[in-house]
Structure 1
Amino acid sequence: MEKRQVQYQYDENHLVNSSKNFYNKENLRTEEMVLNIGPHHPATHGVLRVEVLTDGEYVVDVTPHLGYLHRCFEKHAENLNFQQIIPYIDRMDYVASMNSEHIYAMGVEKMLGITDKIPKRVEYIRVLCAELNRIASHFIAVSTYVLDTGATTPFLWMMRDREHILRLFEWVSGARMLYNYIWVGGLYYDLPVGFEEKCLEFITYLKPKLEEFRTMVINNKIFVERTANVGVLPLSTALDYATSGPVLRGSGLAHDLRRVDGYSVYPELDFDIPVGKGIMGSVGDCWDRTYVRVEECFESIKIVEQCVQKLTKDHKRDRTFDPQEFVPKKIRPKAMDYYARAEGPKGELGFFMRTNGKSDIPERLKARSCCFCNLSVLPELGKGNLLSDLIVIMGSIDIIMGEVDR
């Protein structure tokens, strides 16, 4: 076969085929390439594979691929009774186990109609632990996110301070991360003697540290330029994709189930709902989502202080107090379909339960994962951005793959 000889000449703007004029300004073809980020990659924050179609440095399309960390939670739940399910809930969002336990326990209690029987001391202990865990979860989200943007020291700061919370949880439950502490109808144990004082001591230590982090990192010129006006999520799009938590509030909507549903003792507590305001860029950008998480840490500190005050003055420790007094010996609800939801650190976590009225094992227990819904908006946020900005966008969503692959 005769070899086709093609000669090229270089033009100012593009390469021109001198024989056929194939590469001209009108029909210049892009060179697209498929890149796989993950599943084992520090930028994916877990075993997530992101298939990225790129045109040079620009992202044309993004497709998240799941299923690399199957927890099999929902299948396990079909073979366990309601109390035995709690340790498996810990393993979904493993950096916010207390919150997940709290949400599940409240859901089953509402289904059984025993919410009014739960002692106030139990409720305040639950909220105290949930808000401490909210701070610890946001510390993971924000510190690893700052690491994504190129700063190392703030990550070490926040991991140091998060360790104090883990030690408090280890003291109260015996475990560092997977607690099995909040039970349906009560708690495993009351708080250890001196826990309230240690908790206040930690909060007093944490306040100036968090102020320092806000000043030196969140308002840092380099961090602002890296995250402001990047990954802007309009409120209408956030609602279309059923996002929740800081991802939704970062787009300007003050939707928090602690206020909207008013569950547990949250209506008795004073706290604000931070939202994105476009202070450094556009409303709903990566900076706003980070800003909301940091501000929520300050609000959680306020809640923890109020809970400790209630536990030391209004609902004091009593030798006759039994945190397991109202824990049902056997949970066998009527045949029904029931859905319960509450506000986790990453958004709305819900549980759909189907029971047949004959067994203490649910026929179906489906978890409505906030991480799964928030991750679904990634293709909308990623298109048209630089590849380096895609890493920043992924980190701003704050996902835990144990909950996504539930």
Structure 2
Amino acid sequence: MLTGKTIILGITGGIAAYKGAALCSKLVQAGAEVHVMMTESAAKFITPLTLQTLSRHPVHIDTFDERNPSVVTHIHLADKADLIVVAPATANAIAKLAGGFGDDMLTTTLLAVTSPILIAPAMNVHMYEHPAVVRNMELLAERGAMFVEPGTGQLACGYVAKGRLAEPEEIVLAVEAFFRQEQKLAGKKVLVTAGGTMERIDPVRYITNDSSGKMGFAIAEAARLMGADVTIVAGRTSVQPPGGVKVVRVESAQQMLEAVQARYGDSDIVIKAAAVADYRPVHVHSRKMKKSDDKLVLELEKTADILATLGAAKQGQFLVGFAAETDQVEQYAMDKLNRKHCDLIVANDVSADGAGFNVDTNVVQVYGPEGLVEALPLMSKRETAVRLLAIIAARMERRHSGGEAE
């Protein structure tokens, strides 16, 4: 997949620098020519000799350590690179890049490079959520930088939270996805819904579901890597959205419908990954309901069917729905696709191990008008998203070339 590609791997000074060895090795095994640049802090966590052995190239740390008098190394490598991957990217490294600093070999090269940049942040959760760090990542995304979101798990500081560097396999997947699908969605506007909706009973109580938003956010991230202009309409989520996308926060199914409708006409691809409430309370109390009787009866009414509404109003958009089922998956998926005029339905059995809500993996089947398009085995939601976007891009390309009926 990466044969003939030149990748600069930038490793900055966090404990996750040790994962740089596995990442470098996997990129080389995939066929890439890898040139490693380390900050002085990174060299305190992992030795340059390790990376030199794995990459089979000298490791660059000092801007003034010029070994070839015929070239200026940081300019030469910047011109040569097809992609720069910064992993791990510390808060300090992200700030330097956002601010345009060039005080070491890596940051100087990043200023000179014209190839795309893929950033994999790694830091304490509070640092990751600090407004300055968030703004720096937004700024970099606005300039075209791509991100591989950190994972949730045990951090070096002892917290179990978001901030852990994505696994080397996931970063390689993002690199391969970039080269495989490079710019296939460039110029396209992608609208993704994510998370669960909340239907209020009173100011402190509501009806919701177990959706975390992980699948929708993974789809948005994959679309961003493929060059799309991405907007997420997000309900209740338990994880942070990816960088480089617009996020519109909503609460109820009605608010989600209105937010999606306002952007539908300007969208090329709409992927409805949110878990929308089917019912809402008929009466919403303005004050907290006091406990009285042993039983409480709630009268519910149907919410608006967002997917069906969009299907009925289609004017060339490529519409993808999700179907979370517990039995008869194919039957329900095909019925939903036909009734709601979707181009694809992504169905899964949420009762299966490793699939559904609040996990990092999924097992899905993708259905089109002709039936099953592809059954994806257990894999990360990131990889599921990449595969789904590849199917969508291929179908849109055939549609526009006249090879597929509307």
What is the TM-score when the length of structure 1 is the normalising length? Answer: 0.23
Highest relative contact order (Cα 8 Å, sep 6+), 1 or 2? 1
User: Which structure has more helix as a fraction of its residues?
Assistant: 1
User: Which structure has more strand as a fraction of its residues?
Assistant: 2
